[in-house]
Amino acid sequence: MRVLLTGASGMLGAATARALLAEGVELTVLQRHPSGLPCREILGSVSNRAVVELAAAGQEVVLHLAAKVDVVGPWAEYEQTNVAGTRAVVDACRQHGVRALVHVSTPAVAHAGRALVGVGAGPADSRAARGNYARSKAIAETLALQADSAQLAVLAIRPHLVWGPGDTQLVQRIVDRARAGRLPLIGSGAALIDSTYVDNAVDALLAAVRVCGQVRGEALVVSNGEPRSVAEILRLLCRAAGVPGPRGRVPYPLAAAAGSIIEGAWAVSRRRDTPPLNRFLAEQLATAHWFDQRRTREALRWQPRVSLDEGFAQLAAHYAKGSAEDQLTVPSTVEGTTS
Protein backbone atom coordinates (compact mmCIF):
# COMPACT_ATOMS: atom_id res chain seq x y z
CA MET A 1 0.00 0.00 0.00
CA ARG A 2 1.23 3.49 -0.85
CA VAL A 3 0.49 6.02 1.90
CA LEU A 4 1.23 9.72 2.27
CA LEU A 5 1.38 11.00 5.85
CA THR A 6 1.42 14.74 6.45
CA GLY A 7 2.88 16.02 9.71
CA ALA A 8 5.49 13.42 10.67
CA SER A 9 7.46 15.80 12.90
CA GLY A 10 5.19 15.61 15.96
CA MET A 11 4.94 12.79 18.49
CA LEU A 12 1.79 11.23 17.02
CA GLY A 13 2.84 11.70 13.40
CA ALA A 14 6.30 10.23 13.92
CA ALA A 15 4.95 7.26 15.89
CA THR A 16 2.32 6.61 13.23
CA ALA A 17 4.93 6.78 10.47
CA ARG A 18 7.12 4.24 12.27
CA ALA A 19 4.15 1.91 12.72
CA LEU A 20 3.23 2.16 9.03
CA LEU A 21 6.81 1.37 8.04
CA ALA A 22 6.80 -1.63 10.38
CA GLU A 23 3.75 -2.92 8.51
CA GLY A 24 5.59 -2.73 5.21
CA VAL A 25 3.75 0.30 3.84
CA GLU A 26 5.39 2.25 1.02
CA LEU A 27 5.44 5.54 2.92
CA THR A 28 5.92 9.16 1.93
CA VAL A 29 5.96 11.86 4.60
CA LEU A 30 5.43 15.59 4.16
CA GLN A 31 6.31 18.22 6.73
CA ARG A 32 8.40 21.39 7.10
CA HIS A 33 11.49 19.88 8.74
CA PRO A 34 13.40 16.61 8.25
CA SER A 35 11.90 13.73 10.20
CA GLY A 36 14.84 11.33 10.08
CA LEU A 37 12.49 8.52 9.06
CA PRO A 38 13.73 5.85 6.60
CA CYS A 39 11.23 6.68 3.86
CA ARG A 40 10.57 9.07 0.99
CA GLU A 41 10.38 12.56 2.44
CA ILE A 42 9.12 15.81 0.96
CA LEU A 43 9.78 19.04 2.81
CA GLY A 44 7.42 21.99 2.64
CA SER A 45 4.22 23.52 3.90
CA VAL A 46 0.97 21.62 3.64
CA SER A 47 -0.61 24.84 2.36
CA ASN A 48 1.78 24.86 -0.64
CA ARG A 49 -0.34 23.28 -3.37
CA ALA A 50 2.59 22.37 -5.60
CA VAL A 51 4.35 20.54 -2.76
CA VAL A 52 1.17 18.71 -1.72
CA GLU A 53 0.43 17.64 -5.29
CA LEU A 54 3.96 16.29 -5.67
CA ALA A 55 3.56 14.28 -2.46
CA ALA A 56 0.06 12.98 -3.34
CA ALA A 57 0.91 11.75 -6.82
CA GLY A 58 0.71 7.96 -6.99
CA GLN A 59 -0.63 7.51 -3.46
CA GLU A 60 -3.50 5.18 -2.51
CA VAL A 61 -4.24 6.65 0.94
CA VAL A 62 -3.49 10.02 2.51
CA LEU A 63 -3.30 10.32 6.29
CA HIS A 64 -3.51 14.04 7.05
CA LEU A 65 -2.11 15.00 10.48
CA ALA A 66 -0.31 18.26 9.73
CA ALA A 67 -1.81 21.17 11.69
CA LYS A 68 -1.04 24.24 13.73
CA VAL A 69 -1.95 23.15 17.27
CA ASP A 70 -0.88 26.04 19.48
CA VAL A 71 -3.44 27.51 21.87
CA VAL A 72 -2.69 31.09 20.77
CA GLY A 73 -1.76 32.83 17.55
CA PRO A 74 -3.32 34.99 14.85
CA TRP A 75 -6.22 33.54 12.88
CA ALA A 76 -4.31 33.89 9.59
CA GLU A 77 -1.78 31.26 10.70
CA TYR A 78 -4.48 28.75 11.66
CA GLU A 79 -6.39 29.46 8.47
CA GLN A 80 -3.31 28.96 6.31
CA THR A 81 -2.19 25.64 7.81
CA ASN A 82 -5.40 24.03 9.04
CA VAL A 83 -7.95 25.30 6.52
CA ALA A 84 -6.00 26.10 3.35
CA GLY A 85 -3.72 23.13 4.04
CA THR A 86 -6.65 20.72 4.28
CA ARG A 87 -8.19 22.21 1.13
CA ALA A 88 -4.89 21.63 -0.69
CA VAL A 89 -4.78 18.02 0.54
CA VAL A 90 -8.39 17.35 -0.55
CA ASP A 91 -7.81 18.87 -3.99
CA ALA A 92 -4.58 16.90 -4.47
CA CYS A 93 -6.36 13.67 -3.53
CA ARG A 94 -9.03 14.34 -6.14
CA GLN A 95 -6.53 15.32 -8.82
CA HIS A 96 -4.33 12.26 -8.37
CA GLY A 97 -7.01 9.61 -7.85
CA VAL A 98 -6.24 8.87 -4.20
CA ARG A 99 -8.86 6.37 -3.03
CA ALA A 100 -9.02 7.26 0.69
CA LEU A 101 -8.32 10.24 2.95
CA VAL A 102 -8.08 9.86 6.73
CA HIS A 103 -8.33 13.35 8.19
CA VAL A 104 -7.06 13.75 11.76
CA SER A 105 -9.26 16.19 13.66
CA THR A 106 -10.02 16.91 17.33
CA PRO A 107 -13.06 16.63 19.64
CA ALA A 108 -12.67 20.39 20.21
CA VAL A 109 -14.50 20.94 16.89
CA ALA A 110 -17.75 19.98 18.64
CA HIS A 111 -17.04 21.55 22.05
CA ALA A 112 -18.93 24.77 22.69
CA GLY A 113 -17.80 25.15 26.30
CA ARG A 114 -20.45 22.94 27.89
CA ALA A 115 -19.70 19.59 29.53
CA LEU A 116 -19.52 16.60 27.17
CA VAL A 117 -20.55 13.55 29.17
CA GLY A 118 -20.64 10.16 27.47
CA VAL A 119 -21.50 11.63 24.08
CA GLY A 120 -20.62 10.57 20.55
CA ALA A 121 -18.65 12.59 18.03
CA GLY A 122 -21.28 15.25 17.35
CA PRO A 123 -21.11 17.56 14.32
CA ALA A 124 -18.22 19.97 13.88
CA ASP A 125 -19.44 23.54 14.43
CA SER A 126 -17.01 26.31 13.57
CA ARG A 127 -19.40 28.97 14.89
CA ALA A 128 -19.50 27.53 18.41
CA ALA A 129 -15.96 26.11 18.61
CA ARG A 130 -13.75 27.82 21.18
CA GLY A 131 -10.61 29.55 19.96
CA ASN A 132 -8.77 29.76 16.66
CA TYR A 133 -7.41 26.23 16.79
CA ALA A 134 -10.78 24.55 17.34
CA ARG A 135 -12.53 26.86 14.89
CA SER A 136 -10.02 26.23 12.12
CA LYS A 137 -10.07 22.48 12.71
CA ALA A 138 -13.89 22.50 12.55
CA ILE A 139 -13.77 24.19 9.16
CA ALA A 140 -11.06 21.78 8.01
CA GLU A 141 -13.00 18.69 9.11
CA THR A 142 -16.11 19.95 7.35
CA LEU A 143 -14.11 20.52 4.15
CA ALA A 144 -12.68 17.01 4.33
CA LEU A 145 -15.97 15.22 4.99
CA GLN A 146 -17.74 17.18 2.26
CA ALA A 147 -15.25 15.66 -0.18
CA ASP A 148 -16.42 12.11 0.55
CA SER A 149 -17.56 10.57 -2.73
CA ALA A 150 -17.55 7.41 -4.78
CA GLN A 151 -14.05 8.34 -5.96
CA LEU A 152 -12.59 9.50 -2.61
CA ALA A 153 -13.57 7.89 0.70
CA VAL A 154 -13.08 10.27 3.63
CA LEU A 155 -13.01 9.40 7.32
CA ALA A 156 -12.31 11.90 10.15
CA ILE A 157 -10.61 10.65 13.32
CA ARG A 158 -10.63 12.82 16.46
CA PRO A 159 -7.99 11.58 18.94
CA HIS A 160 -8.56 13.17 22.35
CA LEU A 161 -5.68 14.53 24.46
CA VAL A 162 -2.95 12.27 23.12
CA TRP A 163 0.04 11.91 25.45
CA GLY A 164 3.06 9.71 25.99
CA PRO A 165 6.86 9.70 26.25
CA GLY A 166 8.45 12.52 24.29
CA ASP A 167 5.27 14.62 24.20
CA THR A 168 6.09 18.33 24.15
CA GLN A 169 2.56 19.65 23.53
CA LEU A 170 0.82 18.43 26.68
CA VAL A 171 3.02 16.45 29.07
CA GLN A 172 6.15 18.59 28.99
CA ARG A 173 4.21 21.83 29.42
CA ILE A 174 2.46 20.39 32.50
CA VAL A 175 5.75 19.09 33.89
CA ASP A 176 7.55 22.39 33.34
CA ARG A 177 4.83 24.34 35.11
CA ALA A 178 4.70 21.86 37.99
CA ARG A 179 8.47 22.01 38.40
CA ALA A 180 8.21 25.81 38.60
CA GLY A 181 5.40 25.57 41.17
CA ARG A 182 2.87 27.14 38.78
CA LEU A 183 0.37 24.31 38.31
CA PRO A 184 -2.83 24.97 40.27
CA LEU A 185 -6.12 23.16 39.78
CA ILE A 186 -8.81 25.12 37.97
CA GLY A 187 -12.06 24.82 39.88
CA SER A 188 -12.52 21.65 41.91
CA GLY A 189 -10.36 19.44 39.70
CA ALA A 190 -13.17 16.88 39.78
CA ALA A 191 -14.24 17.20 36.12
CA LEU A 192 -13.88 13.86 34.32
CA ILE A 193 -11.93 13.87 31.06
CA ASP A 194 -10.86 11.27 28.54
CA SER A 195 -7.32 11.05 27.22
CA THR A 196 -5.48 8.76 24.81
CA TYR A 197 -2.14 7.05 25.26
CA VAL A 198 -0.09 7.56 22.12
CA ASP A 199 0.23 3.86 21.21
CA ASN A 200 -3.56 3.54 21.20
CA ALA A 201 -3.94 6.63 19.00
CA VAL A 202 -1.44 5.16 16.55
CA ASP A 203 -3.31 1.86 16.44
CA ALA A 204 -6.57 3.70 15.79
CA LEU A 205 -5.09 5.67 12.89
CA LEU A 206 -3.70 2.50 11.32
CA ALA A 207 -7.11 0.89 11.73
CA ALA A 208 -8.68 3.92 10.03
CA VAL A 209 -6.31 3.52 7.07
CA ARG A 210 -7.39 -0.10 6.76
CA VAL A 211 -11.16 0.45 6.95
CA CYS A 212 -11.51 3.80 5.17
CA GLY A 213 -13.77 2.98 2.26
CA GLN A 214 -15.84 0.52 4.24
CA VAL A 215 -16.34 3.23 6.89
CA ARG A 216 -16.64 6.71 5.43
CA GLY A 217 -18.25 10.12 5.60
CA GLU A 218 -18.25 10.37 9.40
CA ALA A 219 -16.17 11.49 12.36
CA LEU A 220 -15.06 9.16 15.16
CA VAL A 221 -13.67 10.20 18.54
CA VAL A 222 -10.74 8.09 19.76
CA SER A 223 -9.79 7.83 23.43
CA ASN A 224 -8.72 5.29 26.02
CA GLY A 225 -12.29 5.29 27.28
CA GLU A 226 -11.10 5.62 30.89
CA PRO A 227 -12.38 8.97 32.20
CA ARG A 228 -10.36 10.27 35.13
CA SER A 229 -10.63 13.50 37.07
CA VAL A 230 -8.41 16.39 35.98
CA ALA A 231 -6.79 16.36 39.42
CA GLU A 232 -5.88 12.67 39.15
CA ILE A 233 -4.48 12.95 35.63
CA LEU A 234 -2.31 15.93 36.54
CA ARG A 235 -1.13 14.22 39.71
CA LEU A 236 -0.17 11.01 37.88
CA LEU A 237 1.59 12.87 35.06
CA CYS A 238 3.61 14.81 37.62
CA ARG A 239 4.42 11.69 39.61
CA ALA A 240 5.67 9.95 36.47
CA ALA A 241 8.00 12.88 35.78
CA GLY A 242 9.16 13.12 39.39
CA VAL A 243 7.88 16.67 39.95
CA PRO A 244 5.43 18.04 42.56
CA GLY A 245 1.75 17.71 41.76
CA PRO A 246 -0.74 20.57 41.41
CA ARG A 247 -0.60 23.20 44.16
CA GLY A 248 -3.58 25.29 45.16
CA ARG A 249 -6.85 25.98 43.40
CA VAL A 250 -8.11 28.85 41.28
CA PRO A 251 -11.90 29.30 41.01
CA TYR A 252 -13.03 28.78 37.44
CA PRO A 253 -14.61 32.27 36.98
CA LEU A 254 -11.36 33.86 38.11
CA ALA A 255 -9.29 31.58 35.86
CA ALA A 256 -11.52 32.32 32.87
CA ALA A 257 -11.24 36.06 33.46
CA ALA A 258 -7.49 35.85 33.90
CA GLY A 259 -7.22 33.72 30.76
CA SER A 260 -9.06 36.37 28.75
CA ILE A 261 -6.76 39.12 30.01
CA ILE A 262 -3.62 37.08 29.35
CA GLU A 263 -4.86 36.10 25.91
CA GLY A 264 -5.49 39.74 25.06
CA ALA A 265 -2.07 40.77 26.32
CA TRP A 266 -0.37 38.09 24.19
CA ALA A 267 -2.29 39.24 21.11
CA VAL A 268 -1.48 42.93 21.63
CA SER A 269 2.22 42.27 22.25
CA ARG A 270 2.35 39.65 19.46
CA ARG A 271 4.20 37.22 21.71
CA ARG A 272 4.98 33.85 20.13
CA ASP A 273 5.46 31.76 23.28
CA THR A 274 2.66 29.82 24.95
CA PRO A 275 0.88 31.78 27.70
CA PRO A 276 0.40 30.26 31.15
CA LEU A 277 -3.37 30.38 30.67
CA ASN A 278 -6.07 31.38 28.21
CA ARG A 279 -9.84 30.97 28.02
CA PHE A 280 -9.68 27.68 26.14
CA LEU A 281 -7.27 26.08 28.63
CA ALA A 282 -9.34 27.28 31.58
CA GLU A 283 -12.45 25.67 30.08
CA GLN A 284 -10.66 22.43 29.26
CA LEU A 285 -9.36 22.08 32.81
CA ALA A 286 -12.69 22.82 34.46
CA THR A 287 -15.22 21.13 32.16
CA ALA A 288 -15.99 17.42 31.79
CA HIS A 289 -15.35 15.95 28.36
CA TRP A 290 -15.50 12.19 27.91
CA PHE A 291 -17.00 10.16 25.10
CA ASP A 292 -19.02 7.08 24.17
CA GLN A 293 -16.53 4.85 22.34
CA ARG A 294 -18.90 2.13 21.12
CA ARG A 295 -19.28 3.41 17.54
CA THR A 296 -15.54 4.07 17.22
CA ARG A 297 -14.54 0.60 18.34
CA GLU A 298 -17.17 -1.07 16.18
CA ALA A 299 -16.31 0.95 13.06
CA LEU A 300 -12.51 0.70 13.35
CA ARG A 301 -12.53 -2.83 14.79
CA TRP A 302 -10.08 -1.43 17.33
CA GLN A 303 -9.54 -1.58 21.09
CA PRO A 304 -6.99 0.30 23.22
CA ARG A 305 -4.16 -2.08 24.10
CA VAL A 306 -2.40 0.15 26.67
CA SER A 307 -4.38 1.16 29.76
CA LEU A 308 -3.87 4.58 31.33
CA ASP A 309 -2.08 3.04 34.29
CA GLU A 310 0.27 1.16 31.95
CA GLY A 311 0.81 4.41 30.07
CA PHE A 312 1.74 6.27 33.24
CA ALA A 313 4.20 3.49 34.07
CA GLN A 314 5.80 3.77 30.62
CA LEU A 315 5.99 7.55 31.01
CA ALA A 316 7.71 7.14 34.40
CA ALA A 317 10.21 4.72 32.84
CA HIS A 318 10.90 7.28 30.11
CA TYR A 319 11.66 10.03 32.63
CA ALA A 320 13.71 7.67 34.81
CA LYS A 321 15.82 6.69 31.79
CA GLY A 322 16.36 10.33 30.90
CA SER A 323 17.41 11.12 34.45
CA ALA A 324 19.83 8.20 34.53
CA GLU A 325 21.38 9.25 31.22
CA ASP A 326 21.80 12.80 32.52
CA GLN A 327 23.64 11.50 35.57
CA LEU A 328 25.97 9.42 33.41
CA THR A 329 26.84 12.36 31.19
CA VAL A 330 29.82 13.94 32.95
CA PRO A 331 31.43 16.97 31.26
CA SER A 332 35.01 16.25 30.27
CA THR A 333 37.59 18.55 31.86
CA VAL A 334 41.32 19.02 31.62
CA GLU A 335 42.88 19.34 35.01
CA GLY A 336 45.94 21.55 35.27
CA THR A 337 48.93 20.93 37.50
CA THR A 338 50.85 23.33 39.60
CA SER A 339 54.52 23.09 40.53
Catalytic residue positions, numbered: 133
**Count of alpha carbons within 13 Å of 44, Cβ hemisphere only?**
15
* Residue 43: strand pairing partners: 31
Q: What are phi and psi of 181, to 5 degrees?
A: 70, 25
181: helix, coil or strand? coil
Angle at 154 between CA 151 and CA 160, to 5 degrees: 170
Spell out the residues 6+ positions from residue 264 whose beta carbon is closer than 8 angstroms to its own: none
Q: Rounded distance, CA 209 to CA 24, Å? A: 14
Q: Rounded distance, CA 235 to CA 241, Å? A: 10
Read off the DSSP letter of residue 119: E
